[in-house]
Amino acid sequence: MTENITKEKKRINNNNNPITINCAPNGDPLDYRVLNEEIHQSLNSGYNKIILNNVCGQRFIGASLQGDLEIEINGVPGNDLGIFMDGPKITVNGSCEDQAGNTMNDGTIIIHGDGGDVIGLSARGGKIYIKKNVGYRVGIHIKEYERKYPVIIIGGTARDFLGEYMAGGLVVVLGLKFLPNGKIIENDMSICGNELGTGIHRGKIILRTEEDLEPKLGVGAKLFTPDEIELKQIEIYLKEYCRIFNIPYELITQKPFKGVIPISKRPFAGSYCGQLI
């Protein structure tokens, strides 16, 4: 009982005072295991906000963290940022490597740069907002779980296999380009690569584009035109995204949206034996 009271006092005292960790003292990056141990020690000391400076590819930052916590990252975090996360907020003031939000259950990941490949792998809740471009297989196998609803919004463009094997949730791609002077223009790259929505059997992919997406569709995916009700449902996420990255919402509405949904809930049913003998 006394130990719990002491921990609670520490948490109250440190609640509004973030702790800063130098992730590369003397220019030598900490081993990811050492860094993550320091993060957990800080949380056990009662801090609920941690600022990480000079991050240089360390993996698993924020792994399995729960509750009302916040991590701010200055640098480039490595693979599996926020893996298994359930509630915290992670902000990256730059770009990140692959698999951010891997199997996350809840919380928010904000990337003020580019994202790598396989962002949001198997996420079943939470929000991942990427300001610029992402790589391959983003949103692969994201899925809804009970009341959980994963959302990924990409400000720039995506590469091949976007939304592969989606089993729920929402992926939005806006097709914008962010210039060094702060100006925002339309991206001259294709909004996505090939094999769009391959194997999707639940959920939606929404793309802000005038491109012909039919040749890019993967197996099991089909196009649809979002109606006003569907656009209203995603508006809350788009407005939050615009607030975070200081994008005029009116800019988002200057181009039409196209959607991708499953042809069937079992797109590969014909590929398996109908009866086992």
Q: Are residues 120 and 244 in the same domain?
A: yes
User: What is the full per-residue pLDDT of the chain (277 aa) written as tens digits?
Assistant: 445 444 554 554 566 689 999 999 999 999 999 999 999 999 999 999 999 999 999 999 999 999 999 999 999 999 999 999 999 999 999 999 999 999 999 999 999 999 999 999 999 999 999 999 999 999 999 999 888 999 999 999 999 999 999 999 999 999 999 999 999 999 999 999 999 999 999 999 999 999 999 999 999 999 999 999 999 999 999 999 999 999 999 999 999 999 999 998 776 666 655 554 4
Q: How far is CA 96 from CA 89, 115, 123, in A?
A: 15, 5, 17
The b-or-e profile of 16-38 (16+ CB within 10 A means b, else e) is: eeebebebbeeeebbebeebbeb
Residue among 28, 89, 24, 81 at smallest CA distance from 52: 24
Tell me which residue has tokens 């992730």.
Answer: 23
Residue 273 lies in a domain: no
Q: Are residues 211 and 261 in the same domain?
A: yes
CATH number, domain containing residue 192:
2.160.20.60
Residue 163 lies in a domain: yes
What is the tens place of the pLDDT at every residue in 205-224?
Answer: 999 999 999 999 999 999 99
Secondary structure (DSSP) of 189-224? S-SS-SSBTTT--EEEEEEE--S--GGGB-TTEEEE
Question: What is the count of structural domains for the chain?
Answer: 2
Q: Distance between CA 20 and CA 97 in Å, rounded?
A: 22
Of how many residues is the chain composed? 277
**pTM score, whole prediction:** 0.92
Q: Are 152 and 125 in contact (CB under 8 A)?
A: no
